[in-house]
Chain A
Amino acid sequence: MQNSTSATPPVRFSLSNLLWTLVRYREAGISIFILLLVFVVTLRAPSFLTADNFNDILLNISILTIVALAQTMVIITHGIDLSVSSMIGLVAMMVAFVFKQNPEMPVIFAVLLGMALGSVLGMFNGLIITRGNVPPIIATLGTLSIYRGLVFFYSQGTWINSFELPKSFKMLSKGTPLGLPNMVIIAIFVALVVYYFLNHTRTGRDIYAVGTNPDAAPFAGIRKERIIFLVYVLSGLLAGLAAVLWASRFESAQTNTGSGFELQTVAASVVGGVSISGGVGTVPGVLLGALLLGIIQNSLTLIRISPFWQLAAQGLLILIAVISDKWILNRVERTNK
């Protein structure tokens, strides 16, 4: 059984090799893109490159990062969770309501309550998908509407406003006891935990295995249904955490809280190199994906470009990301056979 040694081709510098490296290692590609963007925007609007502004960007992308990481785990299993935005809306409303009733409640309870409620909603998604055999995109499209409907049902169409919420709750996201806003610290913490989980635990690796070849999972003794159920519960749990931070940051819970957010989380994942066909995706990639989206949003506002272009830019990035994924796959399969 010899003859299988794979020789590394000699590395020569050329433009196409450079381009290939940037596409192949998505993290490198996005990093360069971000640096270019920062450079160009700074020329147009010097106020962009200030500590204050970057603080602002980090605040803006914290919630996106948390939910995008959840979305990433789901997409790696070749699924998708469209209901995250409605879970955020529903959990935010419920937690804010509980706080309105019990202003003396310790803030940590709000966090735990949010995660618990989110997990229950996620379990419901997981059950529909694994037990009911419903494709994830349909199942979560359904619960996207159902959970949003429940927000109206629960709130009777009313909002919870800033004055109804205790200060301790509002400071949960914005306080800076550790130098950075709590929300940013929480996002970093979540990223570290997800990174460890996906790369250093058996269950984490099973998530990749199920996504890359679901049919082979039973041969390897992997319980596919459990893994799929689990990622939707985790998605709910992190959406629940994000909901609490959302209500705290914007000091309100509205019937449309989170609306449309699901697409941003998918965008951050896909731009960050998570493959929609499953099995591929890294935490650093998603962090950079979220950062890139945050910078685009922030900078286009600074250089006074209409919000329409923000959406268009986001869409363009997604297309570039997906096309280069395809390109990588073809090239990897071609060169090594």
Chain B
Amino acid sequence: MTENILELKDITKRFSGVEVLHEVSFSLRAGEVHALLGENGAGKSTLVKVMTGVHQPDKGEIYLDGERVSFADTRESRQVGIAAIYQELSLFPDLDVAENIFIGRQPTTTGGRIDWRKLYADAEKLLLSLGVHLDLKHKARSLSIAQQQMVEIARAFSINARILIMDEPTSSLTLNEVADLFRLVRRLRDEGTAIVFISHRLEELFELADRVTIMRDGSYVDTRLLKDVTRDDLIRLMVGRTITDLFPKEDVKAGEVMLKVENLTHTGTFRDVSFELRKGEILGMAGLVGAGRTNVARAIFGVEPATGGRIQIEGQEVEVTSSQQAIKLGLAYVPEDRQLHGLIPAMPITSNISLPILFKYAQRGWLQDKVELRAAYNAALQMEVRANNMWQLARELSGGNQQKIVLSKWLSTKPRILILDEPTRGIDVGTKAAVHGLMSKLAAEGMAILMISSELPEILGMSDRVIVMREGHVTGHFSRAEATQEKIISAATQTVTLRSEQ
């Protein structure tokens, strides 16, 4: 019974030089639900994709029933009985529900013709057994997110897998739907299926899983029996790293209120968000990915204006409806995804830096190249950007240097309020420390900084105060002294929320 059906040994995986998995080991037995736990970016989803052949490990071995195997793609892993629900939705919008379930392995007649009648009959039987009511002929495009999630689940179940991997299958389901799903998972487990289960809701793990493997920063931490651990143990294992001078935060006495947000609401994404940000202060905004933090930032910066609530800047009530207006009010926003929103990869460093305040360098409609170049050069120098020259294209730089360019660009606008969204995601430790040093210096000079981060050490190390968001609501508010990793995780993942509406 304790035979391992699947075993991963010392798996290492790099993406363009960055190590995302470092010698991770993992074992799975028939008839167990094995949870994978870790913070965002700990490498869980990558590990799953190594198990199914979406990614191939750079180092390490995979054993199935004691035999060494390797999967070139998901077709091969499927053939040996591994099915997966991935975190990102992977449906085909223009195909209907039934075909989405069976795509790539539709039942065929001996002549190779797709047996549509059998396909629809099988799909109907499957959905019935899952307790899902969906029109089989509806295009996936027209389904709600929860319905799409259920089609994904149905697809994974239809494989009759020996190993079923579920990466956050419950993230968009209601409580009833989750209960139904768990019933099915238990039934499969009792029939001998091995199940890998990923969820950020700790309660779910205690309810469903037998063992848990904890990962941190792409490394294996520990494997425990769930009946032997407490919730606090898990949190400690998940985040427990020592915080050193990665976070050179100076103590600054907070000044007057620079930004005040009251009951800010954007229908469908966040609701009744209120907080204050003072001069010289770094306010950390914690929460899981998708909690609505970025949407709040975008609302304040006027990219997606709020539908309700009030924003005050330096005591003046304002209605921000465009980013141009926000810049003039002294705001700057460094977005989360620097490739997508922060940089123009095909433009040189100079143009990238001067872009938001190009109007300052123009005279009678003509751009003053020299003035622009000098200003950009000074900004880049201040940020210690490493590049061959100012005409190098942004896309040729490393991730850390790209992040520095994005920061230089916004600092050149001389903002009084700076919003940083995941300022150090995906950059190396050295650059990380440099960015943190700069943040500390800017705050000391009187800038008010709102920092959105999913990395708890960063939140704890850099913030004067912390607010926590969960599912579009503010669920926690801590001073630097009060804030602990446990409290923040607890606020970010608690299942019971008090809703102001209804």
Chain A residues with CB under 8 Å of chain B are 1-6, 199-202, 205-206, 208-209, 211-213, 215-216, 218-223, 279-280, 329, 332-333, 335-337
**B134 near A4 (CB under 8 angstroms)?**
yes
Residues of B within 8 A of A333 (CB): 141-142
**B99 near A200 (CB under 8 angstroms)?**
no
Chain A proximity of B341: nearest CB distance (Å): 20
Q: A223-B75, A332-B141 are in contact. Are A209 and B95 (CB under 8 A)?
A: yes
* Contact among A4, A213, A336 with B150 in the assembled complex (CB-CB below 8 Å): A4
**A223 near B94 (CB under 8 angstroms)?**
no
**B103 near A209 (CB under 8 angstroms)?**
yes
Interface string of B69-99 (1 = CB under 8 A from A): 0000111001000001010111111110001
**A215 near B141 (CB under 8 angstroms)?**
no
Band of interface residues on B: 35 or more
Residues of B within 8 A of A336 (CB): 138, 142-144
**B131 near A222 (CB under 8 angstroms)?**
no
**B114 near A200 (CB under 8 angstroms)?**
yes
Chain B proximity of A97: nearest CB distance (Å): 38
Please measure, in the bound complex, the distance between the C-alpha atom of A221 and the C-alpha atom of B84, giving whole angstroms.
Answer: 11
Considering only CB atoms, which chain A residue lies closest to B131 in the complex? A1
Please measure, in the bound complex, the distance between the C-alpha atom of A221 and the C-alpha atom of B116, giving whole angstroms.
Answer: 20
Please measure, in the bound complex, the distance between the C-alpha atom of A332 and the C-alpha atom of B307, giving whole angstroms.
Answer: 25
Central interface residue in A4, A211, A213, A280, by most chain B CB within 10 Å: A4
Q: Is B430 an interface residue (CB 8 A)?
A: no
* Contact among B73, B84, B147 with A4 in the assembled complex (CB-CB below 8 Å): B147
Chain A proximity of B150: nearest CB distance (Å): 6
**B114 near A205 (CB under 8 angstroms)?**
yes
Q: A201-B114, A222-B104 are in contact. Are A208 and B176 (CB under 8 A)?
A: no
Could you list 17 A-B pairs, sorted by A, with CB under 8 Å?
A1-B177, A3-B133, A4-B133, A4-B134, A200-B113, A205-B99, A209-B92, A209-B103, A213-B93, A216-B90, A216-B92, A220-B104, A221-B78, A221-B104, A332-B139, A333-B141, A336-B142
**A279 near B104 (CB under 8 angstroms)?**
no
Q: Is B396 an interface residue (CB 8 A)?
A: no
Residues of A within 8 A of B139 (CB): 332
* Contact among B106, B116, B132, B150 with A202 in the assembled complex (CB-CB below 8 Å): B106
Q: Please list the 6 inter-chain residue pairs (A to B) with the smallest Cβ-Cβ separation, ordered nearest first.
A: A221-B75, A336-B142, A216-B90, A279-B94, A212-B94, A219-B90
Considering only CB atoms, which chain B residue lies closest to A219 in the complex? B90
Q: Is B368 an interface residue (CB 8 A)?
A: no
Other contacts beyond A220-B92, A329-B141: 7, CB < 8 A: A5-B133, A209-B92, A209-B103, A212-B93, A215-B90, A221-B104, A223-B73
Residues of B within 8 A of A280 (CB): 94
